[in-house]
Amino acid sequence: MASVTDPAAPAAAPATPPSGVGQIAADAQSPEMTDGFHLVIDALKLNGIDTIFGLPGIPITDLTRKAQAAGLRVISFRHEQNAGYAASIAGFMTQRPGICLTVSAPGFLNGLTALANATTNCFPMILISGSSEREVVDLQQGDYEEMDQLAIAKPLCKAAFRVLHAEDIGVGIARAIRAAVSGRPGGVYLDLPAKLFPQAVEAEAGRKSLIKVVDPAPRQIPAQDAVQRALELLKGAKRPLILLGKGAAYAQADADIRALVERTGIPYLPMSMAKGLLPDTHEQSAAAARSYVLPAADVVMLIGARLNWLLSHGKGKTWGGKGSKDWGGQKFIQVDISPQEADSNVRIDAPVVGDIGSCVSALLAGIGPGWAKPPADWLGAIAERRNKNVAKMAETLARNPSPMNFHSALNVVRDIVKANPDAMLVNEGANALDFTRSIVDMYKPRKRLDVGTWGVMGIGMGFSVAAAVMSGQPVIAIEGDSAFGFSGMEVETICRYNLPVCVVILNNNGVYRGDEVNPTGGRDPSPLVFVKGARYEMLMEAFGGVGVKATTPAELRRAMEDAIASRRPTLVNAVIDEGAGTESGRITALNPTAKKK
């Protein structure tokens, strides 16, 4: 909402001196005053929060201004969903709750998908939304943007709070922070009604009401007997396997996790966002032999990974079970912060409950120096498959078809990421996601940010903005052309803040592929295809960034190298074969109509 039509707070709020954050000028007689706006800002700052992702409008317009005036970084988006995704991934990267700030009803709802996605993915985030007048909303009298936001948010997040009195802002923000980051992290909703912001409070009382949260994510130490049970199981294994999930990446226990893998000598598989926890080129990585190790392993240790659909629920054919629901016979050790996670899909023989850092260090302490490496035949069988698959992939990558396909384009991206291991990689799409995940090696932890547990489209530009803002590193966003469309307008945001983001659209003219036709022969195109030959690069040029159309790997390479070197916002429209791609990428089998041709 433009500020001209926004009667927001200034009129209602006490007069504020331009630089007087946290203090409101007072005449000689009256005490120094503050208000809801300043208490929210002061509470966030007191807790080390320095960035807000949001979109202004009634009733939070002035909050965004005052936050910026107070030295917070306020990143203003074109759509709240993208601000929400940005906040959530900032939370993943930093272990501090990412803040998304929205207006009431529609702005709140736009942010809600990101909040739910954050909760599903265990990203700590706080969605702060302004809301309309309680007494009007509750009587359903038709207020401006009327909605009972707290009730709607509740089932979609870890916790939801509302603050009605300025004196309670400190408690509200403290509770939101603790809920977001303690235990299993997740999304939190904080409802701030319009009337709260201009409420005046004596400055001294206001200051005293704020809470600096002590130890917001307390360590949770695993029980010693649980650790012993896990180690016994691991010790007896003939074909052990470690699975690293994004919980392991979130934990920032990188050195201990690497030590655990290396000292036990156990092969490991990284889940998508755990890639780079150890470099993907590590000799113990079994990623290139995934379909062999899952059914063949006898003991599997899950570290911060859940046995959800991404791991075929720990059973069925992927795991060597006969039918789709049959157990493959593996024993599982599960290291997880949530005691409720174990047995969610199959029996967990050794749950180790605690924060990943504490659990891994306890496991390491229990291992000692005399640990025997896994049997050589297991390691040899994996190495054989891995080498074969790596050689096969190298052959595919070396081909240079015209037009480009996913492989020849991603071969370039693979080289660029190898040369720039500190760069952040954002990735979404179907084929564009699956091929990137398997082709592009990661070398450092928490560099790969993607669609996560839901496989949600739309995270691209929000994640890219946050990745650039929070890390200061160049960002490479590998996007399907459909995926990009969900957040494409944020290229303006990328240009406005002059962020070092290089968007590469793997453009095959459609969802999964671009060669489908309307079976009736009618005028409408297939629901799966887009305008052919779309010039996505012009979108970036429209806002002053660099746009490049690349039809060969050499053009793509040059454009990406230039983008990384210049740090200028860049969009490369990488035109690839519109027939290259399969329905839903690697998860065709989940698609109920895919078999009915």
Residues that bind ligand TPP in the complex, under the rule CB under 6 A? 429-432, 455-458, 480-483, 506, 508, 511-512, 581, 585
Distances in whole angstroms, Cα of residue 309 to Cα of each of 89, 98, 312 = 22, 27, 5
Token duo for residue 507? 């453009």
Between 142 and 527, CB nearer to ligand TPP: 527
Q: Is 508 in the site for Mg ion (CB under 5 A)?
A: yes
Between 65 and 513, CB nearer to Mg ion: 513
- For residue 196, the partner it binds in Mg ion, ligand TPP, none, with Cβ less than 5 to 8 A by kind, is none
Q: Is 577 in the site for Mg ion (CB under 5 A)?
A: no
Beta strands in 316-373 (DSSP E): 331-336, 350-353
- For residue 430, the partner it binds in Mg ion, ligand TPP, none, with Cβ less than 5 to 8 A by kind, is ligand TPP
Contact set for Mg ion, span 263-322 (CB under 5 A): none
- For residue 161, the partner it binds in ligand TPP, Mg ion, none, with Cβ less than 5 to 8 A by kind, is none
Minimum gap (Å) between residue 508 Cβ and Mg ion: 4
Handedness of CA 282, 287, 288, 293 (dihedral sign): positive
Minimum gap (Å) between residue 571 Cβ and ligand TPP: 15
Between 361 and 431, CB nearer to ligand TPP: 431
Minimum gap (Å) between residue 284 Cβ and ligand TPP: 31
The 3-state secondary structure of 244-261 reads ECHHHHHCCCHHHHHHHH
Between 199 and 508, CB nearer to Mg ion: 508
Between 91 and 480, CB nearer to Mg ion: 480
Between 144 and 309, CB nearer to ligand TPP: 309
Window 322-361: contact mask with Mg ion (x via CB under 5 A): ----------------------------------------
Between 68 and 582, CB nearer to Mg ion: 582
Structure letter (DSSP) for residue 339: T
Minimum gap (Å) between residue 206 Cβ and ligand TPP: 41
CA 545 to chain centre: 25
Q: Tell me the helices (H) and strands (E) count for the chain, helix number first.
A: 22, 19
Do 37 and 68 contact (CB within 8 A), yes or no?
no
Between 456 and 540, CB nearer to ligand TPP: 456
Token duo for residue 538? 């012009």
Cα separation, 237 vs 234, whole angstroms: 5
To which residue do tokens 């009736």 refer? 520
Binding-site size for Mg ion (CB under 5 A) equals 3
Q: Is 81 in the site for Mg ion (CB under 5 A)?
A: no
Cα separation, 263 vs 15, whole angstroms: 63
Closest to 98 (Cα-Cα) out of 204, 40, 181, 222: 181
- How many CB atoms sit inside 10 A of residue 154's CB? 12
Quick one: angle between helices 553-566 and 406-419, nearest 10? 30
Closest to 358 (Cα-Cα) out of 218, 542, 541, 560: 218
Minimum gap (Å) between residue 267 Cβ and ligand TPP: 30
**CB-based closest residue to ligand TPP:** 480
Closest to 180 (Cα-Cα) out of 61, 262, 99, 288: 99
Minimum gap (Å) between residue 246 Cβ and ligand TPP: 18
Minimum gap (Å) between residue 146 Cβ and ligand TPP: 27
Minimum gap (Å) between residue 585 Cβ and ligand TPP: 5
Minimum gap (Å) between residue 434 Cβ and Mg ion: 12
Minimum gap (Å) between residue 423 Cβ and ligand TPP: 21
Contacts made by residues 308-316, CB under 8 angstroms, sequence distance 24+: 308/344, 308/345, 308/453, 309/590, 310/271, 310/272, 310/453, 311/243, 311/271, 313/345, 313/346, 314/345, 314/346, 315/345, 315/346
Closest to 45 (Cα-Cα) out of 62, 61, 68: 68
Peptide bond into 59 cis (omega under 30): yes
Minimum gap (Å) between residue 576 Cβ and ligand TPP: 8
Strand partners, 193: 131
Distances in whole angstroms, Cα of residue 187 to Cα of each of 153, 161, 472 = 10, 12, 25
- For residue 245, the partner it binds in Mg ion, ligand TPP, none, with Cβ less than 5 to 8 A by kind, is none
Between 411 and 508, CB nearer to Mg ion: 508
Candidates 256-264, 306-314, 326-334, 502-510 — which segment interacts with Mg ion by CB under 5 A?
A: 502-510
Between 276 and 585, CB nearer to ligand TPP: 585
Contact set for Mg ion, span 173-232 (CB under 5 A): none
Structure letter (DSSP) for residue 473: S
- How many CB atoms sit inside 10 A of residue 217's CB? 18
Between 361 and 508, CB nearer to ligand TPP: 508
Structure letter (DSSP) for residue 102: E
Do 549 and 564 contact (CB within 8 A), yes or no?
no
- For residue 117, the partner it binds in Mg ion, ligand TPP, none, with Cβ less than 5 to 8 A by kind, is none
- For residue 107, the partner it binds in ligand TPP, Mg ion, none, with Cβ less than 5 to 8 A by kind, is none
Minimum gap (Å) between residue 440 Cβ and ligand TPP: 14
Minimum gap (Å) between residue 399 Cβ and ligand TPP: 18
Q: Is 374 in the site for Mg ion (CB under 5 A)?
A: no
CA 124 to chain centre: 10
Q: Is 481 in the site for Mg ion (CB under 5 A)?
A: yes
- For residue 483, the partner it binds in Mg ion, ligand TPP, none, with Cβ less than 5 to 8 A by kind, is ligand TPP
Q: Is 427 in the site for Mg ion (CB under 5 A)?
A: no
Between 425 and 456, CB nearer to ligand TPP: 456
Between 54 and 460, CB nearer to ligand TPP: 460
Q: Which of 59, 458, 480, 569 binds Mg ion (CB under 5 A)?
A: 480
Binding site for Mg ion (CB under 5 A): 480-481, 508
